[in-house]
């Protein structure tokens, strides 16, 4: 479900391949052939070794070197297809570090993610990287592939990652003469769901996983998208930019100082007890931009309150009010569609889900559809796409590591939902000490969905994960940066949940306020 500009619009007879991917990889000490091989092969040699080959079911269509640029090193770009329709792209660097990085997709996938963001970071660090389209071609906002193609629906749901990894490992073996020493997965949004799906269903697949803003609770959050869209579409429920600004400013005024500094970011949300009812217009009617009508307050309530369906079988934790709802990548983009809810990404995602998974009728008006009216369809959607199993003991027992991350101003997916999963997993594995042995969770204040927003959104989680896996150096507080046009604007501590960064530096000092060293991770 990733859409970033942060939102690029990017997918079993293959049972044998999927099963094979579980062997000799992941968190065990066996990483296949760890001999010297030809790990020093150049990108050109790697391309030559793969051109025209079929390996582990993947038929290479192109293999060509890509010249170094100002941002990316020289590498071999390999495109291949696992018949009939699962497309992948493998990038083999000139100087390989011996490890494999799998980057997740976004939204309903449908295209191979480009070489940017975390994918670029991994390649620059010397990883061989792989991405896929998850088994279909299409718009990231469209689930049309799932209506009549159960094979594509299963690939999207859970099968594409183990299938592609099996082929990628063999392709790396052919290119460099040895299997990767380590294999890591990183994804945000739907890629975060793919990450947790792998940890839950294929616990031996990866040595380490980074799940950022995971869309793990597909039935739950899509259902809440549907509920909130109905509230916003109700007479008088829509929000103008001025109304969104009124809501955001009120939250900031009430809660910004709770983290030790008034800087436009509410970094201590646990201390924020703002009640939107204080903004109610006189009599509940819409009397201007300085207040919210009863219909608008109902929309806010739908968004923030926990949602539940099928007698409580499916739930979703609501969103927290952050004070940054007026950021361009927040409410207007994801929730309100200001002024027309049918332009909001949450509306578009629930609409295509209703049409193609639940009603199975593309003429269905999603705003007239009752989310749990067809329980069999809900169960089927959950079986395909939900990654809600909190029992991570098999993953823990494989000696693999997990980093969870979520932006504090994420209007697409609620960090409260990720917190709920983390808490459930902690209980399932036996308590905090057991969880700390293999997992970390971070919330980045003021950061939008996957990236962007006023907060510090840039942290090298891959380096932290690799150091943990390879050197047993468990990450604690990390450092996050906000980078604009290549220049670092500010740094902040990225604190382990439930801590938050509290300003402890000199008062009224803008230069000091921009430095992570003047903040202390503090329990709420």
What is the gyration radius of the CA atoms in the chain, in angstroms?
A: 23
pLDDT of 15 strictly over 70: no
pLDDT band at 460 (very low <50, low <70, confident <90, very high): very high
pLDDT of 319 strictly over 70: yes
pLDDT tens for each residue of 342-365: 999 999 999 999 999 999 999 999
Nearest to 165 by CA among 226, 105, 206, 113: 206
pLDDT of 42 strictly over 50: yes
pLDDT of residue 1: 59
pLDDT tens for each residue of 205-239: 999 999 999 999 999 999 999 999 999 999 999 99
pLDDT of residue 289: 97
Q: Using CA atoms, how far apart are residues 204 and 381, in angstroms rounded to an integer?
A: 25
pLDDT band at 22 (very low <50, low <70, confident <90, very high): very low
Region 317-338: mean pLDDT is: 97
pLDDT of residue 198: 98
pLDDT band at 407 (very low <50, low <70, confident <90, very high): very high
pLDDT of residue 341: 97
Nearest to 403 by CA among 184, 213, 211, 215: 211
Residues 443/449/453/455 CA torsion (nearest 10 deg): 10
Using the 8-state DSSP alphabet, how is residue 259 labeled? G
pLDDT of 100 strictly over 60: yes
Q: What is the largest CA-CA distance in the chain?
A: 76
pLDDT band at 33 (very low <50, low <70, confident <90, very high): very low
pLDDT of 159 strictly over 60: yes
Q: Are 399 and 408 in contact (CB under 8 A)?
A: no
Region 415-429: mean pLDDT is: 98
Q: Are 468 and 474 in contact (CB under 8 A)?
A: yes
Q: Residue 303 is inside which H or E element, if any?
A: helix 294-304
pLDDT of residue 481: 98
Choice between 508 and 19, residue whose per-residue pLDDT is larger: 508
In a 3-state reduction of DSSP, which class is residue 466? helix
Helix axes 117-124, 461-471, angle to 10 degrees: 50
pLDDT of 484 strictly over 90: yes
pLDDT band at 11 (very low <50, low <70, confident <90, very high): very low
pLDDT of 197 strictly over 50: yes
pLDDT band at 32 (very low <50, low <70, confident <90, very high): very low
pTM of the predicted structure, to 2 decimals: 0.93
> All domains of the chain, ordered by start, with CATH?
15-216+388-406+455-475 (3.40.50), 220-385 (no CATH), 483-524 (no CATH)
pLDDT of residue 23: 30
Region 289-296: mean pLDDT is: 98
Strands (E), 208-346: 208-212, 307-309, 314-316
- What Å distances lie between residue 76 and 13, 95, 130, 197, 521, CA to CA? 30, 11, 12, 29, 42
- When the pLDDT of each residue in the chain is averaged and rounded to a whole number, the result is 93
Residue showing tokens 């009010």? 321
Nearest to 95 by CA among 172, 48, 39, 36: 39
């Amino acid at each position: 479900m990733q859409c970033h500009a942060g939102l690029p619009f990017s997918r079993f007879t293959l049972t044998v391949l999927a099963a094979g991917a579980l062997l000799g990889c992941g968190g065990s000490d066996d990483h296949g052939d760890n001999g010297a091989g030809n790990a020093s092969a150049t990108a050109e040699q790697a391309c030559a070794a793969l051109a025209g080959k079929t390996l582990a079911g993947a038929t290479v269509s192109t293999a060509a070197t890509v010249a170094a640029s100002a941002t990316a090193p020289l590498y071999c770009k390999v495109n291949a297809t696992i018949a009939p329709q699962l497309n992948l792209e493998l990038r083999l660097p000139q100087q390989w570090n011996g490890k494999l990085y799998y980057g997740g997709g976004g939204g309903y996938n449908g295209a191979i993610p480009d070489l940017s963001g975390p994918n670029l970071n991994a390649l620059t660090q010397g990883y061989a990287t792989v991405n896929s389209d998850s088994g279909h071609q299409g718009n990231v906002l469209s689930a049309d592939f799932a209506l009549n193609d159960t094979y594509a629906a299963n690939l999207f749901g859970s099968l594409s990652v183990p299938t592609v990894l099996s082929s990628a490992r063999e392709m790396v073996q052919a290119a460099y003469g040895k299997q990767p020493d380590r294999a890591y997965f990183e994804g945000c949004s739907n890629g975060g769901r793919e990450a947790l799906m792998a940890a839950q269903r294929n616990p031996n697949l990866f040595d380490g996983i980074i799940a950022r803003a995971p869309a793990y609770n597909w039935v739950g959050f899509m259902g809440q998208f549907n509920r909130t869209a109905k509230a916003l579409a109700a007479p008088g429920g829509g929000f103008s930019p001025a109304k969104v600004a009124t809501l955001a400013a009120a939250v900031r005024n009430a809660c910004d100082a709770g983290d030790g500094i008034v800087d436009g970011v509410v970094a201590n949300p646990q201390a924020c007890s703002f009640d939107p009812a204080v903004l109610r217009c006189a009599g509940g009617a819409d009397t201007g931009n300085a207040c919210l009508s009863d219909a608008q307050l109902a929309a806010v309530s739908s968004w923030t309150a926990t949602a539940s369906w099928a007698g409580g079988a499916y739930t979703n934790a609501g969103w927290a009010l952050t004070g940054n709802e007026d950021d361009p990548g927040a409410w207007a983009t994801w929730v309100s569609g200001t002024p027309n809810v049918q332009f909001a990404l949450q509306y578009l995602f629930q609409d295509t889900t209703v049409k193609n998974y639940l009603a199975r009728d593309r003429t269905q008006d999603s705003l007239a559809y009752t989310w749990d009216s067809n329980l069999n369809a809900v169960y089927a959607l959950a079986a395909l796409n939900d990654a809600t199993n909190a029992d991570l003991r098999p993953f823990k027992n494989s000696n693999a590591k997990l980093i969870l991350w979520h932006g504090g101003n994420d209007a697409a997916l609620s960090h409260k939902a990720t917190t709920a999963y983390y808490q459930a997993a902690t209980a399932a594995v036996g308590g905090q000490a057991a969880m700390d042995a293999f997992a970390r969770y971070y919330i980045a204040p003021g950061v939008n969905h996957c990236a962007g927003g006023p907060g510090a959104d840039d942290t090298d989680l891959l380096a932290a994960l690799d150091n943990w896996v390879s050197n047993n150096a468990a990450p604690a507080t990390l450092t996050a940066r906000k980078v604009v046009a290549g220049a670092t604007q500010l740094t902040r501590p990225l604190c382990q949940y439930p801590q938050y960064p509290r300003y402890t530096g000199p008062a009224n000092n803008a230069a000091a306020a921009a430095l992570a060293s003047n903040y202390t991770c503090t329990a709420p």
